[in-house]
Amino acid sequence: MCGIVGYLGSREAYPILIKGLHRLEYRGYDSAGIALINSKLDLSVYKTKGKVEDLENYVADKDVEGTIGIAHTRWATHGEPNSQNAHPHYSQSGRLALIHNGIIENYKVLKEELISKGYTFSSDTDTEVLIQLIEYMQMSHNTSIYEAVQLALKNVIGAYAIAIIDKSNPNQLIAARKGSPLIIGVGDKEFLIGSDATPIVEYTNKVIYLEEEEIAVMKRNGEISITNLSNVPQTPIIKTLELNLSQLEKANFPHFMLKEIFEQPEALRTSMLGRLNMESKTVRLSGIIDHRDKFLKAKRIIICACGTSWHAGLIGKYIIEELTRIPVEVEYSSEFRYRNPVITKDDIVIAISQSGETADTLAAIKLAKDNGAFVYGICNVVGSSIARASDTGSYLHVGPEIGVASTNAFTAQVTTLTLIAMNIAEEKKTISKERIAELVEELQQIPEKINQTLQMNMRIKLYAQIFTYARNFIYLGRGFNYPVALEGALKLKEISYIHAEGYPAAEMKHGPIALIDEEMPVVVIAPKRGMYEKVLSNIQEVKARKGKIISIVTKGDTAVKELSDFCLEIPDTEECFVPILSVVPLQLLSYHIAIAKGRNVDQPRNLAKSVTVE
């Protein structure tokens, strides 16, 4: 949710930290702050409401000298977004500063205890409680800052990724994590920390993924020591980052979201690379082949995910059941983790998460594993917590998704679930070799067919101008395209703030039809494949009530086109692959409506890219 970045080394910290904050801004952006220790050993904290740009303006005339510092971009959980609640937070003496991503659940109890010992607070945050607690531990136990951090964290319930600097020791940076991600970049006698790799990649590709309940102490001479909360030393494992700088830039696009929509053909090609064998016309996913028996024996698959990833999971259910005949249940991770679900050792849980850090999905994995299920993770971010917590899995390989509204990760998730279904079907022989070969042939065409779909961009832009007036939208689809209707509605809500609902088209007559009048735009996904005739009747029902119909149809369609006020054509494909194409015009429609309404599409209000709190 929040973004954290830190630096210790011989360079000036400020430019590195500010650049890092810009890269992390997609994670949270209601306020930002920075703390630096200068050569005179002054610890200065500057923070402000708003974006990183506002912070830069605020510090323009301030002293930002120093080679050690920490910085934070916030997504409010405790206390409204204002400069008092922004991070970093000082300790009572003004000697320590801390940044934090996560939630300290028992902060109220801790705060009351500290108040009774004479501590005062200047913010409403749980984070300020933590830094005061660390200082209190240090004073009351007369110990080092490292031991004080350890003692304080033992008293904390909740999730945290933290970084601390101490003006009495400007040669040391301390970081710790539990539940929220934290990565350490290891340079030549310098260290960077980040809540993901984006602020680090410019300076080094050597990284350490801090594990649960580990504390790292980094020194200016290049030494690093890692221990866990029980003080057991851990060997730092340095890995190589698979990320390059150009992936973090907008190229010639005005927004990351548009870039990511247009990157989908290439992203899906990369996603399928090495997995589709065009010679043997087969699919191979190492996560499945290496655990073949598990999949052959599986009695049930449970998919856990949130938001857009949950919509991908719903499409996955349709495809996996169709091709493999294994029953699939799709669960919101946040419900699954708390409702005492029936899980057995013959179940396979597929956890889907772009960020790989979604707290509810991580907790769902833990529950599944505790009950003996085998967990297959589908993540985009390499080395993320969910990827590491899963027994096996597949990465999406679409590169960093920066726009808050998920687009290319969604189509890659659906593609990966399709590959999983095809690979299991091959192993279980639930469909013929010939049929698999046909599907492989067609799947390989999908990136080019997305390219053709993207050609409608300018037309969609024109349609979007017409619909900026709308206060509500309805999205309808059936079968494989019902989850696409949900996803289209979510995309519109997220970035344009227009209320939108997705329904299975036939459900409309059970209630939502009452909403339809001449002002209501109704987006209907009506491809030739699947329940075309049925959807056609649903469209008639909307038309009869004067709803404005925007249809997504297969190229060459005439019947739906005639009934529609606006029509967008996608290339024909196998029924189970249609969602990968039909979602693309919906992504573009949301984007252009949001732009026409003057919204910040890459950083929509109240949202964050990586939801690391419950």
Active site residues: 2, 609
Tokens of 474: 């309805």
Q: Is 334 in the site for ligand F6R (CB under 6 A)?
A: no
| Rounded-to-integer distance, Cα 335 and Cα 388, Å | 22
- Smallest separation (angstroms) from ligand F6R to the CB of 309: 4
Task: For the segment 481-520, give every residue that binds ligand F6R (CB under 6 A).
Answer: 490, 494
Cis before 88? omega within 30 = yes
For residue 338, what are the contacts with CB-CB under 8 A and spacing of at least 6?
A: none
The DSSP result for 432-497, as a single string, is -HHHHHHHHHHHHHHHHHHHHHHTTHHHHHHHHHHGGG-SEEEEEE-GGGHHHHHHHHHHHHHHH-
Q: Do residues 148 and 141 touch, judged by C-beta distance below 8 A?
A: yes
Nearer to ligand F6R, 164 or 490 (CB): 490
* DSSP at 97: E
The interface mask with ligand F6R, positions 399-438, x = CB under 6 A, is: ------xx--------------------------------
Question: In a 3-state reduction of DSSP, which class is residue 341?
Answer: coil
- Smallest separation (angstroms) from ligand F6R to the CB of 336: 13
Question: Which range touches ligand F6R (CB under 6 A), out of 147-155, 301-309, 414-422, 452-460?
Answer: 301-309
For residue 118, what are the contacts with CB-CB under 8 A and spacing of at least 6?
A: none
Question: Which range touches ligand F6R (CB under 6 A), out of 127-135, 303-311, 335-343, 446-454?
Answer: 303-311
- Smallest separation (angstroms) from ligand F6R to the CB of 495: 8
> C-alpha angle 267/270/276, rounded to 5°?
125
| Rounded-to-integer distance, Cα 223 and Cα 467, Å | 58
| Rounded-to-integer distance, Cα 317 and Cα 85, Å | 43
Q: Which residue is nearest to ligand F6R (CB)?
A: 307
The DSSP result for 512-567, as a single string, is GGGG-STT-EEEEEE-SSSSHHHHHHHHHHHHHTTPEEEEEEETT--HHHHH-SEE
- Smallest separation (angstroms) from ligand F6R to the CB of 311: 8
Q: Do residues 340 and 312 touch, judged by C-beta distance below 8 A?
A: no
Nearer to ligand F6R, 353 or 418 (CB): 353
- Smallest separation (angstroms) from ligand F6R to the CB of 75: 12
How many C-beta atoms lie closer than 10 Å to residue 293's C-beta? 8
- Smallest separation (angstroms) from ligand F6R to the CB of 167: 37
Nearer to ligand F6R, 6 or 483 (CB): 483
| Rounded-to-integer distance, Cα 563 and Cα 477, Å | 16
Task: For the segment 338-357, give every residue that binds ligand F6R (CB under 6 A).
Answer: 353-355
Nearer to ligand F6R, 130 or 404 (CB): 404
Nearer to ligand F6R, 165 or 365 (CB): 365
Strands 392-395 and 89-90, by their bridges, are unpaired
Nearer to ligand F6R, 66 or 403 (CB): 403
Strands 374-379 and 347-353, by their bridges, are parallel
Task: For the segment 584-613, give every residue that binds ligand F6R (CB under 6 A).
Answer: 610-611
Nearer to ligand F6R, 406 or 564 (CB): 406
Backbone region of residue 307 per phi and psi (left: phi > 0; alpha: psi in -120 to 50; beta: other values): left
Task: For the segment 306-325, give every residue that binds ligand F6R (CB under 6 A).
Answer: 306-309
Task: For the segment 357-376, give every residue that binds ligand F6R (CB under 6 A).
Answer: 358, 361
Tokens of 514: 């009452």
Nearer to ligand F6R, 324 or 394 (CB): 394
- Smallest separation (angstroms) from ligand F6R to the CB of 223: 34
The interface mask with ligand F6R, positions 524-563, x = CB under 6 A, is: ----------------------------------------
How many residues touch ligand F6R under the rule CB under 6 A: the total is 15
Alpha-helix residue ranges (DSSP H) falling in 155-199: none
Nearer to ligand F6R, 165 or 379 (CB): 379
- Smallest separation (angstroms) from ligand F6R to the CB of 457: 19
Q: Do residues 481 and 530 touch, judged by C-beta distance below 8 A?
A: yes
- Smallest separation (angstroms) from ligand F6R to the CB of 366: 15
The footprint of ligand F6R (CB under 6 A) covers 306-309, 353-355, 358, 361, 405-406, 490, 494, 610-611
